[in-house]
Amino acid sequence: MWQKLKDGIDHRIGLNELIDSKLREYRVPGDTNIFYTVGIVTVVAYMIQAVTGYFLLMYYIPHPDHAFQSIQDIMTVIPYGWFIRMIHIVAANLMVALVFIHLVSIFFMGNYKKPREMTWLAGGVLLLITLAFCLSGYLLPWSQRSYWATTIVTNIPTAFPVIGDFAVTILRGGDSVSGVTLTRFFSLHVGFLPPLFLSIMGLHIFLVWRIGLSVPPSSPSAKEQKPWTGYAKVNYSKSYPFYPDFVLKESSMILLFLTVTFLIMSFLPTLFLPETATTPADPLRTPPDIKPEWYFLAPYQMLKVIPNKFLGICIQLIAIVVFMLWPWIDSGDERNISKRPVLLTLFLLLAVLWIVLTFWGRYS
Amino acid sequence: MRYISFLVVVIILAAALPSSAGYRELFEKEFLSKPWGAEITEESACLECHTSDVMTIELQQIPVDWKASWHYQNNVSCDDCHGGDSGDATMAMSHQRSFIGKPQHADIPDFCGKCHIGILKNYIESGHGKALKATGEGPNCVTCHGSHNIQKVNIDIINAQRCSQCHSYDRAKIIKQALFLTDKKIEKIENDLEMLKKKGVYAHTEVMTLFDTQAKFRSLFHTIDVSVIRDKTYYFTKKLDEIEKNLQETFQQLSFRKKFSTFLMLLFACTWIAVSLISKSRKD
């Protein structure tokens, strides 16, 4: 039956030829490491978010009077609603972690260099959209945590002279976080960001596919590579087929991701759900220890530490611009970071600073 | 390109420095003088005066006591009991704004009973209430609960030390015995609800039912009539049993969730190991 179906499709569209030419003949460098699979795991995490988000959408009510209760109904009344929501929460946090790991590994291996600048830029935009997803999705449960964490984050633009208050009003749809903010964030989360994310992710994957995977800088075959002069189909001295070998490697990492997701759901179900997340929003009562999510802790603490907040925000914006344009700033040929002590030191310093600020923000 | 990017960064940074200086003061006032999240801050004329040195030590103690109280935790503010306008210092103690101030000893039950209606009814009908009405000097709310540092009550408020101030503890002990089991059940349910909250479950219906049952049960305390307490305890026990049953079901559901997730985790872990081995064997 299966063979008959396969033959039928092959007869009509040439499926076997398509698989051979686009997957089997597509080559992957022989010495790729597990970090080469993080990108596809992130894509799977995004797909999980889209599917679980779609199911949540069936029962969620984006109104201040009903949002919290509808979430509680999903958790307790709707059959397996808890399962869908918990996957959505855990996978969202793991997705951010994966994006960071992907970014750091790409940086470490110098894979942003010519001809992959546009791939880096598209990846950077995807990171920003991911964070926008997190920020907009955070408010939707209308809990104490979501209400006050959103109040904190949407307060930040007030640091800008002249346009600050106006920007906050636009963001919130009023002076404070209200039902209007909820509707805005909801439409952003389910209407605006997904197609934007999908198109840029499509571009990112196309660029990776078209340019081909880079050889790790530490690998011996990297030395054999000639300097890049113009687009040409890559030929690796040592390689293996994308399908089935690399697909198996990727599948293994996707399964590891799913294992970790269910591990957290089984043994640490409240890791991303503190008590304030199960308390209805109360605009008249500020919880004593409200904090942004872990991925926003470092920039949050940085703003608290720098005495002049406008300067703090400017530094962060400049850091984002530098990060996005990094392939053009660091345009030299050397990819191996171990041969670039200044860059390595700078990278380690920034990583330590980020970690310190995160812990400081968490426990201050 | 590198130099252009560097130049852009320097220009933005340089522009940020002078323009930020003028806004620093304004920003800190708006952004840092209060907690980051706290947009709606507590501005009370009552607290302003009562925390200032103009007041005697005794009057300065009132806000301290209130902030440690169960009322404070439940958003019950000065003007909710004493009237007046806490938002306007000039009208804070105005009788035109229904300011009451410190009530007379005999007026205290009505003062508290504005909110605690059921309790007031039971108190008036009780021996305590009748004594106050008859002599003007019987025990009132403050005698047992205090005035500003009012804490969440449990059955231990009935004790030899407190009751013996006015009469022997014998009858109070019998009342305490009649209330004991129901009170312990309430305490257990409260702990269970707290535990569920920590596990990420907000049992709204159970919280509300417990609140209602507890309020009615607490108002029963004030009858200080053993036969009434014994008669009505059955009704409360039945209600509490229903809540307990629902909570047990929720705990069972949580246990199922854990088992279900663990099963899926093991399933994916095994598949992961299998796929990794296949992948490795192909590589070799």
Q: What is the CATH number of the domain that holds A36?
A: 1.20.810.10
Q: Which helix (H) or strand (E) holds B138?
A: none
Q: What is the mean pLDDT of residues B67-78?
A: 88
Task: List CB contacts (< 8 A) between B278 and chain A.
Answer: 248
Identify the sign of the CA torsion B38, B44, B50, B53.
Answer: positive
- Does the N-terminal peptide bond of residue A244 adopt cis geometry, omega within 30 degrees of 0? yes
Chain B: residue nearest A82 by CA?
B257
Task: List CB contacts (< 8 A) between A91 and chain B.
Answer: none
pTM greater than 0.90 (yes/no): no
Task: Assess if residue A58 is contained within a domain.
Answer: yes
Q: Does B135 touch chain A (CB under 8 A)?
A: no
| Residue A227 falls in which region: left (phi positive, over 0), alpha (psi -120 to 50) or beta | beta
Long-range contacts from A173-180, C-beta under 8 angstroms, 24+ separation = A176/A151, A176/A283, A176/B39, A176/B40, A177/A139, A177/A147, A177/A150, A177/A151, A177/A283, A178/A64, A178/A283, A179/A63, A179/A64
Condensed to tens digits (0 to 9), the pLDDT of residues B14-65 reads 554 444 444 444 444 444 433 333 333 456 888 888 988 888 888 999 999 9
What six digits make up the tokens of B191?
Answer: 């702990």
Q: Which among B27, B37, B283 has the least Cβ separation from residue A148?
A: B37
Q: Which of A277, A305, A9, A5 is nearest to A150 (CA)?
A: A277
**What is the C-alpha separation between B132 and B141, in angstroms, rounded?**
11
ipTM of the complex: 0.89
Condensed to tens digits (0 to 9), the pLDDT of residues B80-98 reads 999 888 888 888 888 888 8
**What is the C-alpha separation between A316 and A319, in angstroms, rounded?**
5
**Cβ-contact B200, A273 below 8 angstroms:** yes
Task: Assess if residue A359 is contained within a domain.
Answer: no
User: How far is C-alpha A230 from the geometric centre of its chain's CA atoms?
Assistant: 31
What type of residue is B38?
A
Q: Does A79 touch chain B (CB under 8 A)?
A: no
Count of residues for chain B? 284
Query: At residue B223, what are phi and psi to the nearest 5 degrees?
Result: -75, -25
B204-221 vs B117-125: helix axis angle to the nearest 10? 20
Q: Which of B239, B20, B203, B49 is nearest to A76 (CA)?
A: B203
Q: Which among B17, B28, B279 has the least Cβ separation from residue A252?
A: B279
Task: Assess if residue A225 is contained within a domain.
Answer: yes
pLDDT values of chain A reduced to their tens digit, one per residue, 364 residues: 888 998 999 999 998 898 888 888 888 888 888 899 999 999 999 999 999 999 999 999 999 999 999 999 999 899 999 999 999 999 999 999 999 999 999 999 988 988 899 999 999 999 999 999 999 999 999 999 999 989 888 888 888 888 888 989 999 998 889 999 999 999 999 999 999 999 999 999 999 999 988 888 877 766 666 667 777 777 777 888 898 899 999 999 999 999 999 999 999 999 998 888 888 998 877 887 778 889 999 998 998 888 888 888 899 999 999 999 999 999 888 888 888 999 999 999 999 999 999 999 888 7
Task: List CB contacts (< 8 A) between A284 and chain B.
Answer: 40, 75
Task: Assess if residue A344 is contained within a domain.
Answer: no
Condensed to tens digits (0 to 9), the pLDDT of residues B207-263 reads 999 999 988 888 888 887 888 888 888 888 899 999 999 999 999 999 999 999 999
Task: Assess if residue A296 is contained within a domain.
Answer: no
What type of residue is B281?
S
| β-strand partners of A240 | A28
Q: How many independent structural domains does chain A possess?
A: 1
CA angle A93, A99, A105 (to 5 degrees): 135
| Residue B6 pLDDT greater than 70, yes or no | no
Task: Assess if residue A22 is contained within a domain.
Answer: no
Whether B9 and A321 lie within 8 Å, measured CB to CB: yes
**How many CB atoms are closer than 10 A to CB A268?**
11
Task: Assess if residue A331 is contained within a domain.
Answer: no
What six digits make up the tokens of B223?
Answer: 């009858």
Interfacial A residues in 243-302 facing B (CB < 8 Å): 244-245, 248-249, 251-252, 255-256, 258-259, 262-263, 265-267, 269-270, 273, 275, 277-280, 283-287, 290
Strand ranges inside chain A, DSSP E = 27-29, 239-241
SS3 B233: helix
Chain B: residue nearest A254 by CA?
B272
Task: Assess if residue A350 is contained within a domain.
Answer: no
In the block, tokens 């089984």 appear at A266
The confidence score (pLDDT) of residue A99 equals 95
Domain containing residue A160: 30-291
Torsion angle in degrees (nearest 10) through CA of B200, B202, B206, B211 = 120
The confidence score (pLDDT) of residue B14 equals 54
Task: List CB contacts (< 8 A) between B198 and chain A.
Answer: 270, 275
Inter-chain Cβ pairs, chain A and chain B, closer than 8 A: 154
